Copies of this chain bind each other. A is one copy, B any other.
Amino acid sequence: MVVYKYLSHGVGRMNMNGKQRVTMKDIAQHTGYSINTVSQVLRGIYPSGPTCDKVLAAAKELGYIGNSIASSMRLGSTKTIAIIQSDISNPYFGRLIRNFVNILSERGYTATIYNTDNVLSHERAAVISAIRQNVDGILFGPDDIHSGESVEFLYNSRIPFVVFANDVSNPNISSVRIDEVKGGFLATRHLISQGCRNIVMATAPKGILSAQLRLEGYRQALEKSSLPYRNANILSVPSVFASQGGHRRAWKEVCAQLAQLPFDGIVAFSDQVALKLLQGLREQGFERIAIDQIPIVGFDNILEAFPLPLPLSSIGCAGEDIAHASPRLLLEMIEKGEDFAPQKLVLDVKVYKRQ
């Protein structure tokens, strides 16, 4: 019997310098037991005893490390989750992903990561790649603009997935987001309670669901305090994507526009937006209010993990946050299979105040 008949062309058992990787077969040959026995021992479904000891000793001696690929193949589960996100360099999402990875790891899963840069073709490629890799589930953080296609594709492919930090209209798709309206409301009310009467809302383009909802909260808060809603106070800001440096001019214009307004407080679509605005104002020599005295509230509470010498208050989760709820929901979905009923989690928020 020619055992390594294909060694000449198959790289399978070789590593870089030609040393073969140790397999169960090697342990079997070394100990004289069958591959099956070795497998059972290594998985701990074997009564302890001399056999067990010998096999484990051989495994240790030979430096055996299992091959997940092979067991995945047989078992049909890879214990891998794909995380698909538009910009993982964004500190807010960085923190999110770190928590995803840690939580998944605790539960025995590894994470594959895709960065779409908010480009549809990348998003498509990521989704296909994830399916091709047989991931057990997907954490999907899409941008609103073209979220529909990929989400529907995923839905039709029947792979378990959760949309995070966003939502889609299809009621059968599970998602996790914050209470955006309440967030907009609390942010605005916080500024009002500080004495602000002329509050600018720096919102994202209308296509973005969370922007719409936060703006609605802003409107409600003004109304409740009988303050006028002024169109001039609604500023639509460009993307904060690191990749899109082309937006520099657009940002400059927005900041110039802001500098002209007689505002006394700002609600920003996100902490990132807030910081960009403050930076823009500083760059333009804005002095009516000292930069680090401007009453401003953002979203995402990134200063919790990333302290800055600025009084940037922020809307963040009050209880369980997206970082924890999303993988929890996904894993539940994977474990329950068909018995899982879709859930749309809307997480409670509060103001994290900073002076």
Instruction: Write out the residue numbers on chain B whose beta carbons fall within 8 Å of the beta carbon of A309.
Output: 275, 278-279, 281-282, 291-292, 310
Instruction: Write out the residue numbers on chain B whose beta carbons fall within 8 Å of the beta carbon of A48.
Output: none
- B73, A69: Cβ atoms closer than 8 Å: yes
- Residues in A183-237 with C-beta less than 8 Å from chain B: none
Instruction: Write out the residue numbers on chain B whose beta carbons fall within 8 Å of the beta carbon of A67.
Output: 132, 134
Q: Give the complex CA separation of A132 and B79 in angstroms.
A: 12
Instruction: Write out the residue numbers on chain B whose beta carbons fall within 8 Å of the beta carbon of A32.
Output: none
A101 at the interface (CB under 8 A from B): yes
Choose among B70, B88, B110, B134 the residue that contacts A101 (Cβ–Cβ < 8 A).
B88
- Residues in A69-108 with C-beta less than 8 Å from chain B: 69-70, 72-78, 80, 83, 87-91, 93-95, 97-99, 101-102, 105
The interface-forming segment of A49-57, A111-119, A260-268 is A111-119
- B281, A76: Cβ atoms closer than 8 Å: no
Secondary structure of the A contact surface, majority rule: mixed
What is the minimal beta-carbon distance from A155 to any residue of chain B, in angstroms?
Answer: 11
Choose among B101, B117, B306, B310 the residue that contacts A115 (Cβ–Cβ < 8 A).
B101
- A68, B12: Cβ atoms closer than 8 Å: no
The interface-forming segment of A14-22, A139-147, A162-170, A313-321 is A14-22
What is the minimal beta-carbon distance from A220 to any residue of chain B, in angstroms?
Answer: 30
Choose among B10, B17, B19, B91 the residue that contacts A94 (Cβ–Cβ < 8 A).
B91
Choose among B115, B158, B272, B306 the residue that contacts A17 (Cβ–Cβ < 8 A).
B158
Q: Give the complex CA separation of A158 and B19 in angstroms.
A: 8
What is the minimal beta-carbon distance from A292 to any residue of chain B, in angstroms?
Answer: 7
Instruction: Write out the residue numbers on chain B whose beta carbons fall within 8 Å of the beta carbon of A342.
Output: none
- A66, B13: Cβ atoms closer than 8 Å: no
A307 at the interface (CB under 8 A from B): yes
A to B CB contacts below 8 Å, 5 in the list: A89-B94, A93-B94, A98-B115, A242-B305, A278-B309
Interface residues of A (CB under 8 A from B): 10-19, 63, 65-70, 72-78, 80, 83, 87-91, 93-95, 97-99, 101-102, 105, 110-115, 117, 122, 125, 128-129, 131-134, 157-160, 242, 272, 275-276, 278-279, 281-282, 291-292, 305-310, 337-338
